[in-house]
Amino acid sequence: MLRHAPSVAAFLPFSSLYCCPKPLLKPSSLSPNIFKFPSFFSSPPLSMSSRSVSDVLMAAARAAASKSKKRKAQDDGATTNKNPNPTPPSKDPKPTAQPKEEEKPTLGIDDRIAALRKKPIDFKPHSAAFWKEGESIPFLFLARALDLIAGETGRIVITEILCNVFRTVMATTPQDLTAAVYLSANRIAPSHEGVELGIGDAALIKALAEAYGRKEEHIKNQLKGLGDLGLVAKASRSSQSLMFKPSPLTIVKVLDTFRIIAKETGKDSQDKKRNHIKGLLVAAIDCEPLYLIRLLQSKMRIGLAEQTVLVALGQASVYSDSEKHSNTPPLEEAAKIIKQVYSVLPIYDKIVSALLHDGVWNLPEKCTFTLGVPIGPMLAKPTKGVTEILDKFQDTEFTCEYKYDGERAQIHCMEDGSVEIYSRNAERNTGKYPDVVHSVSRFKKPSVRSFVLDCEVVAYDHEKQKILPFQILSTRARKGVILSDIKVQVCIFAFDIIYLNGQPLLQEQLKVRREHLYNSFEELPGTFQFATAIRSNDLEEIQKFLETAVNSSCEGLIIKTLIRDATYEPSKRSLNWLKLKKDYMDSIGDSLDLVPIAAFHGRGKRTGVYGAFLLACYDEQNEEYQSICKIGTGFSENMLEERSASLRDKVITKPKPYYRYGDAMNPDVWFEPSEVWEVKAADLSISPVHRAASGVVDPNKGISLRFPRLLRVREDKAPDQATTSEQVAEMYRAQKFNHSNNQEDEDDD
């Protein structure tokens, strides 16, 4: 006879323990001692080889049912045998516990999550917490909050909900705030660290199938219907029951696991990544699978922009501080500080730590420019012509530089001689330009120990000594470029220096920064050169300089103030930097960077590809995409096939709640906002069909582009960096057109 009978669980397959589509018995219906054989076998247990799992479970059920009947009989007997003449209570009865009816009802999770909708001024942080103070924040809290945000379209409401989320974390478990901010911003690490999850949809589908006991084919079919792998994950979990509940997920656990996934490399790395994902999915409940998958895809799909995360974080800090000091919270100033600090030091770990210890008002002193961490580049505003420049810069000393048609680059040279190169989006491009890294030691002077250069990397023909078009540069591999395999040569055109030998230069005027630039480096023709520039306020001289720039394969000119209001302003599109292109004076001015949000099926020669696309600008205030034109020209056959193929896996079942378009627009397919296209047009017109800058220029109508054509795909820009509705309105006001070109355009194609 066995001394200790093994538990029932020992005879169940692993998948049955965690994910049973149809459990044989619900755990809640079994006795607590069901798995201890001696408590319900009256005779010694049979040999396990002669008993099946079904026999064991049926015996357990019979035992549970028998005990239930006995308890009921005892209860009935107690009721029947009550003394009809009970002894009266004593004069000094012992105190009894308060009846449960009088206890204060405990709020459920739904009620606590709903509290996040309150106006921040009326919100009490602990009212939304369903965990004890100091405990790790459940991932369910963040997932449910994101689900709440998904149902909103207004920027103010979304910001308030997220502000309340951060306040709840700060009030209960402040050490988890960093993880909450990273996940809310749909990031796992700072952009410049180059940490990537390296997970495709195929791997996620396989992980879902294994975690939930489904066939990959069924998941793929369901994905076609739902159009969102996150929704498929949520549906898969809701159809499963757990026999043994794993430990709840926390936001720290989720972020840490994501970072582990990103670090898995080498042989079997995909299997390891998939196992980590399965572990998260098995433990996920409610809407957690939905947001786990979306975060793994880096597609939140709820219209939550990173700028909103920054604003909400600033507001949360102010409200938390005002609760201690009873001050009226200056929210706008706090949001401005957070944005400014993030543009100089885009590392949430450092910002959140300083925020918690020193408060939002001390952040500018605590979070400063750091060598090796890219700052947001300063940007220029478009202008229509030389006369406009002279009008704006009256009585101000300014300079004109060539505007090169390449890729913006920020080159960091550390004290130890190591070099890093970053894009305008703070992405690490060091592996893309090993030739630039190799040349640094040749063009910096011996006195230079460390520096940060703002420059343009341009494709360059060394034999003909001429600049090549951007399209040539775009053929370079994005990472892992081997020096000996380089076919497209490049030249660095430096136009600013923002750090030198341990000293940040952001607050210096451009004239001073330029002197440092010229004194610290040596030009190497075709490898490293200073941006060609002149100082003049003569209209004819500037006009001739513009023509020379265009003839030298440049886009035009950048005009900058030199000694007044000439500091470097990270991430700001400043009026102190203006850009002037040759075609500004021939048409609407600047080209526009727009996002394809929908498409129409091609016909005739274009059967099998998309025949036209619906493009949108971005409204920063409301964080929404507003339709501006339908484009079907400017495509070669190859380009049309490439764009169609690229966007097919971005198809969604219905438009996003933050898409704005006319009722007359009926595209065949809608897209996730994912690409940015540079587009040129003949002019802009008032449109009853499109919604760009709606209500800004005309109270009821938007603005559209006439005769748009595609120039190129902007791989260096994210969708929320597209041309804004405010810029569209400015361009419309600035353009010069006669009355015939100012008529409403019923058909904007």
Q: Determine the Cα–Cα distance for residues 397 and 510; give it in Å rounded to an integer.
A: 11
Structure-token match 């609407």, residue found: 588
Q: How many CB atoms lie within 10 A of CB 641?
A: 15
Interacting residues of 710 by C-beta distance below 8 A, sequence separation 6+: 631, 633, 634, 635, 639, 677, 678, 679
Q: What is the pLDDT of residue 55?
A: 54
Q: Which position has the higher pLDDT, 303 or 6?
A: 303
Q: What is the pLDDT of residue 734?
A: 78
DSSP bridge partners of 493: 456, 529
> Which pLDDT band, with edges at 50, 70 and 90, does 321 fall under?
confident
The fraction of the chain above a pLDDT of 90, given in percent, is 60
Which DSSP letter does residue 704 get? E
CA angle centred on 450, ends 446 and 455, rounded to 5° = 100
Residue 147 has pLDDT above 60, yes or no: yes
Q: What is the pLDDT of residue 48?
A: 42
Straight-line distance from the first to the last Cα atom of the chain, in angstroms, rounded to the nearest whole number: 86
The two structure tokens encoding residue 338: 């957070």
Which DSSP letter does residue 506 get? T
Residue 20 has pLDDT above 70, yes or no: no
Q: What is the pLDDT of residue 224?
A: 85
The two structure tokens encoding residue 463: 């034999």
Q: What is the pLDDT of residue 740?
A: 38
Q: With contact defined as beta carbons under 8 Å apart, do 747 and 704 qualify?
A: no
The residue-averaged pLDDT of 317-335 equals 78
Q: Determine the Cα–Cα distance for residues 642 and 652; give it in Å rounded to an integer.
A: 19
Q: What is the pLDDT of residue 29?
A: 44
CA-CA-CA-CA dihedral for 275, 279, 282, 287, to nearest 10: -110
Catalytic positions: 403
Q: With contact defined as beta carbons under 8 Å apart, do 720 and 305 qualify?
A: yes
Structure-token match 């520096």, residue found: 451
Q: What is the pLDDT of residue 647?
A: 94
Lowest mean pLDDT among 51-65, 285-299, 520-534, 709-723: 51-65
Give residue-wise pLDDT tens across range 174-214.
999 999 999 999 999 999 998 999 899 999 999 999 999 99
The two structure tokens encoding residue 651: 């198809």
Q: Determine the Cα–Cα distance for residues 439 and 523; give it in Å rounded to an integer.
A: 11
Q: Is 464 exposed, middle or buried (0-12, 13-18, 19+ CB in 10 A)?
A: exposed
The residue-averaged pLDDT of 291-309 equals 91
- Give the DSSP letter string of 134-193: TSPPBHHHHHHHHHHHHT---HHHHHHHHHHHHHHHHHH-GGGHHHHHHHHTT-SS-GGG
- Give the DSSP letter string of 237-260: HHT-B-SSPPPPPBHHHHHHHHHH
Residue 8 has pLDDT above 70, yes or no: no
Structure-token match 């260096």, residue found: 716
> Which pLDDT band, with edges at 50, 70 and 90, does 392 fall under?
confident
Q: What is the pLDDT of residue 540?
A: 86
Lowest mean pLDDT among 50-64, 220-234, 463-477: 50-64
The residue-averaged pLDDT of 153-175 equals 95
Residue 358 has pLDDT above 90, yes or no: yes
> Which pLDDT band, with edges at 50, 70 and 90, does 241 fall under?
low
The residue-averaged pLDDT of 676-698 equals 90
DSSP bridge partners of 402: 557
Which DSSP letter does residue 86 get? P
* Nearest in space to 668 (alpha carbons), one of 584, 603, 743: 603
Q: What is the pLDDT of residue 240?
A: 63
Q: What is the pLDDT of residue 440?
A: 97
The residue-averaged pLDDT of 503-514 equals 96
The residue-averaged pLDDT of 692-713 equals 90
Q: With contact defined as beta carbons under 8 Å apart, do 188 and 197 qualify?
A: yes
pTM equals 0.75
Q: With contact defined as beta carbons under 8 Å apart, do 414 and 372 qualify?
A: yes
Q: Determine the Cα–Cα distance for residues 324 and 583; give it in Å rounded to an integer.
A: 57
List C-alpha distances in Å: 392 to 104, 389, 587.
67, 5, 21
Structure-token match 């909900």, residue found: 161
Residue 15 has pLDDT above 50, yes or no: no
Which DSSP letter does residue 287 get? T
Lowest mean pLDDT among 155-159, 433-437, 443-447, 638-642: 638-642
Lowest mean pLDDT among 7-16, 149-158, 239-248, 587-596: 7-16
Mean pLDDT, the chain, integer: 84
The residue-averaged pLDDT of 471-497 equals 92
The fraction of the chain above a pLDDT of 70, given in percent, is 81
